[in-house]
Structure 1
Amino acid sequence: MAGDADAAREWREAYERVSGLVATTQLRDPGALEQAVPATPDWRARDLVAHMIGVGSDTLGDAVDEEQGEDWTQRHVEARRDRTVPELLEEWSDLAPRLEEHVATTDPGPLGDIVIHEQDLRGALGAPGGRGSGGLAMVREQMADTFAEGLEERGPVRLEATDGDWTWQSADGDPAVVLQAPGYDLARALTSRRTEEQLRSYVSVGDVAPFLDDFAGLGPLPTQALPE
């Protein structure tokens, strides 16, 4: 897979946003980093940061698990459980230049992890931001294409952003279902961060029921709306 200079720039900007948010929170309200993350309820906010760092470390060490399952992601947390937040940020700072270069020259994949989890973290901390980033738009497009790969003969699905000019359809022809929502919500839906009830509320044409499992591609759909 080839790298992508635009993805590298967006990765750097997302890293700066997230690391800055964590550093500021540590100074002002360190207890907030001990709160559970609604999108990843088994993890505290600091655990989510540890995972994000672990992804970068494993990427550079060519140790990314092929299936990227729960055991792999939990190892990132366990390996850093005894570290302070400043120590976590120091490790991430050391990795960042090399990881940015990796995204630029080798594989843009790490952008997806940091963009998705940035919003998970912001939801836990009550600190919205980054919703209009170029990185989120890039990840939305990538996740839409991945979503399309699993539809086979059940589509096409059409997604229409109500607050912008983004529209996407999985294949040519009359869509089986059309979902209309703000572009940010469509991005979060494509990353398994919207409930079944929310997805149903987005429908303007057809029935989303046959596609609910496809929206759960990154894990079970939340049962309660997330705070972001």
Structure 2
Amino acid sequence: MIQRLVPNNIAYGHVRETVTALLTENPDLADTPVPACPGWTARDLFAHLVEVCDHAMGQLTGTPRIPPFTAKGMDIPQIAQAWAERAEEADRLLADGGGRLGRVGVMDAFTHELDLRYALGLPLPIDTHPAVPRAFDVVISGLSASITTHDLPALLVRTPTETWIAGEGDPAATLSGDRLTIYRALAGRRAPAAIAELDWTGDPHRWIPAFTWGPFAPATAAPES
């Protein structure tokens, strides 16, 4: 079933509430390493999400935070409180769409929720999560632009429920897989060798350079393992 695209504030709010609950209910997990974000702990990931939220709010309102907010030195309850204090304004700004920044913000938050779930060994609800359609829209757009920049033929990307053409023109190859595997590959959570081992028609190595785009590059190892 194809999920309905929900407003940015609904998708982002779901991530905020979920991540906050995961960590406030299990504060002893704060020092758990997050393999998808080398060098980070669960607390670091939580802090990053709040810092990005605060920075984005400054951009959306045209009033940058000076000095920038930092969660350095805060524990899990304090970080949770800082995010809660920003929730009403963030939701209001995102309810108006937030433009590209709003879409990217949803994608970034959702990607890090998946990172956290992997680190904690928790289920990955990619088939029901309200942020999935928006997050996929951003990563497919990023790959598409990168394919064009690399002067590569278009790539057909297919999951059991959706199909996209990344790039311009007729696709010269197809990448198929389940939604989670495809998403993690597009969001820099798969090493080049792992990307090449997915279900491809055509030579995957031709398109792997395009998996480096925006903030993402293929992982140096398989972070999920």
Per the normalisation by structure 2, the TM-score is 0.84
TM-fit CA distance, 1:111: 0.8
Residue 123 (structure 1) aligned with residue 118 (structure 2): yes
CA distance in 2, matches of 1:123, 1:160: 23
The 5 A counterparts of 1:107-146 are: 107=98, 108-109=102-103, 110-132=105-127, 133-146=129-142
Please, what is the CA RMSD of the aligned residues? 2.2
Equivalent residue for 2:94, pick from 85, 88, 103: 103
Change (3 A) 1:170 1:5: closer
Report the counterpart of residue 154 of structure 1 in structure 2.
152
How far the C-alpha of 1:122 sits from its partner, in A, is 1.0
2:9 equivalent to 1:8: yes
Once the 2 structures are TM-superposed, how far is the Cα of residue 174 of structure 1 from its aligned partner? 4.0
What is the rounded CA distance, in whole Å, between the counterparts of 1:101 and 1:130 in structure 2? 26
Q: Is 1:188 paired with 2:179?
A: no
Q: Is the 8 A contact 2:19 2:113 kept in 1?
A: yes
Question: Aligned to 2:190, what secondary structure does the other structure show?
Answer: coil
Preserved contact between residue 157 and residue 170 of structure 1 (Cα < 8 Å)? yes
**Aligned in 2, Cα 1:134/1:155: closer, same or farther, shift over 3 Å?**
farther
Question: C-alpha separation between the residues in 1 aligned to 2:147 and 2:119?
Answer: 32
Deviations 1:53-112 (A, max 9, x none): 001111122399xxxxxxxxxx87xx3221111000000111112111111115123211
The count of aligned residue pairs is 207
Aligned AA (2:17): E
SS in 2 for 1:159: strand
Alignment correspondent of 2:197: 201
Q: Structure 1 residues 9, 63: closer, same or farther in 2, change over 3 A?
A: closer
**For residues 146 and 193 of structure 2, what CA distance do their matches in structure 1 show?**
22
Q: 1:129 to 1:24 in 2, by over 3 A?
A: farther
Equivalent-residue separation in structure 1 for 2:198 and 2:117 (angstroms) = 23
Where does the alignment leave 5 or more consecutive residues of structure 1 unmatched?
A: 65-74
Give the distance between the partners of 1:94 and 1:146, measured in 2 at CA.
32
Give the deviation of 1:33 after TM superposition.
1.6
- What is the percent sequence identity of the aligned residues? 23
Q: CA deviation at 1:22?
A: 1.0
Structure-2 separation of matches of 1:227 and 1:196: 14
CA contact (8 A) 1:5 1:103 kept: no
Distance (Å, rounded) in 1 between the aligned partners of 2:25 and 2:112? 18
Deviation at 1:173, TM superposition (A): 4.7
Contact 1:155/1:171 (8 A) holds in 2: yes
In structure 1, the residue matched to 2:164 is 168
- The 5 Å alignment of 1:11-160 reads 11-26=12-27, 30=28, 32-62=29-59, 79-107=70-98, 108-109=102-103, 110-132=105-127, 133-152=129-148, 153-160=151-158
Distance in 2 (CA, whole Å) between partners of 1:203 and 1:5 is 30
One-letter amino acid of the structure 2 residue matched with residue 156 of structure 1: A
Retained in 1: the 8 A contact 2:126–2:179? no
Q: What secondary structure is seen at the aligned counterpart in 2 of 1:82?
A: coil
Separation in structure 2 between the aligned mates of residue 165 and residue 195 of structure 1, nearest angstrom: 25
Instruction: Write the distance in 2 (CA, Å) between the matches of 1:127 and 1:177.
Output: 34
Structure 2's unaligned 5+ residue stretches are 62-67
